[in-house]
Amino acid sequence: SQQGEEDPQALSIQEGENATMNCSYKTSINNLQWYRQNSGRGLVHLILIRSNEREKHSGRLRVTLDTSKKSSSLLITASRAADTASYFCATVSGAGSYQLTFGKGTKLSVIP
Amino acid sequence: EAGVAQSPRYKIIEKRQSVAFWCNPISGHATLYWYQQILGQGPKLLIQFQNNGVVDDSQLPKDRFSAERLKGVDSTLKIQPAKLEDSAVYLCASTSDFSGELFFGEGSRLTVL
């Protein structure tokens, strides 16, 4: 079953604009991760935020986590054409073995 | 450091035929995963190995899918017989610890006709 649900399903922006993607999940988590997938390629890890963290930055990426609302957001600032890809959130629950449960993803198109 | 290697990248078969995918994880990574990704969806876990033991195969359709991890390193995922709905990308991932990221291979794209 898929834990995370990304919103929107698709997003189209102009180069230089900011892109915001949201992820909601259902059960308590240990950490939440964001991955990027270019068309026809594997997934690449972007950033991990733990359940006791509220915000994290990495380069042009900013991730927030609100455990009370069971939601996270990924902000990409000053987007580039090369950011065109699908973005997935993945959650790791606090119980059981270490497994990532992925959402359906947001397809981002950055228009040059 | 070499990444996760998968082969073949592409495979086209007729329904009811069999197919096998191979994965070589990053050296030293004890945990290996196989995910199925149907077009337009997120990856779905099929099976998780810890060394050469199965941790979780609850979502593996065992009537047609099988997987093994030889000597705790390479892994093979087999489908026999294939159905049309098995058309997907099969992703292999590995990790060295239970607190961080997963490293994914490029995937094996299966088309069942």
User: What residue of B is the nearest CA neighbor of A41?
Assistant: B106
pLDDT per position as a tens digit, B17-38: 999 999 999 999 999 999 999 9
pLDDT of residue A3: 65
Query: Cα distance from A94 to chain B (closest Cα, Å)?
Result: 11
Which residue from A90, A97, A103 is facing B48, i.e. has the nearest CB? A97
Confidence label for A2 from pLDDT (cuts 50, 70 and 90): low
pLDDT of residue B98: 74
pLDDT per position as a tens digit, A31-76: 999 999 999 999 999 999 999 999 999 999 999 999 999 999 999 9
pLDDT of residue A93: 85
pLDDT of residue A5: 82
- The maximal CA–CA distance of chain B, rounded, in angstroms, is 40
Which DSSP string do the residues of B80-110 spell out, in sequence order? SS--GGG-EEEEEEEESSSSS--EE---EEE
Task: Please name which of B37, B34, B11 lies closest in space to residue B111, comparing C-alpha atoms.
Answer: B11
Confidence label for A96 from pLDDT (cuts 50, 70 and 90): low
Query: Cα distance from A112 to chain B (closest Cα, Å)?
Result: 24
* CB-defined contacts A:B, below 8 A: 58
Contact B45 A4 (CB under 8 A): no
Which residue from A97, A100, A103 is facing B55, i.e. has the nearest CB? A97
Could you tell me what percent of chain A has a pLDDT over 70? Answer: 95
Contact A99 B48 (CB under 8 A): yes
- Taking the CA atoms of A64, A71, A4 and B29 in sequence, report the sign of the dihedral they define: positive
Task: Please name which of B69, B77, B73, B71 lies closest in space to residue B34, comparing C-alpha atoms.
Answer: B77
pLDDT per position as a tens digit, A27-41: 899 999 999 999 999
Burial class (CB in 10 A: 0-12, 13-18, 19+), A10: exposed
pLDDT of residue B31: 94
pLDDT per position as a tens digit, B33-84: 999 999 999 999 999 999 989 999 999 999 999 999 988 899 999 999 999 9
Which residue from A41, A90, A102 is facing B106, i.e. has the nearest CB? A41
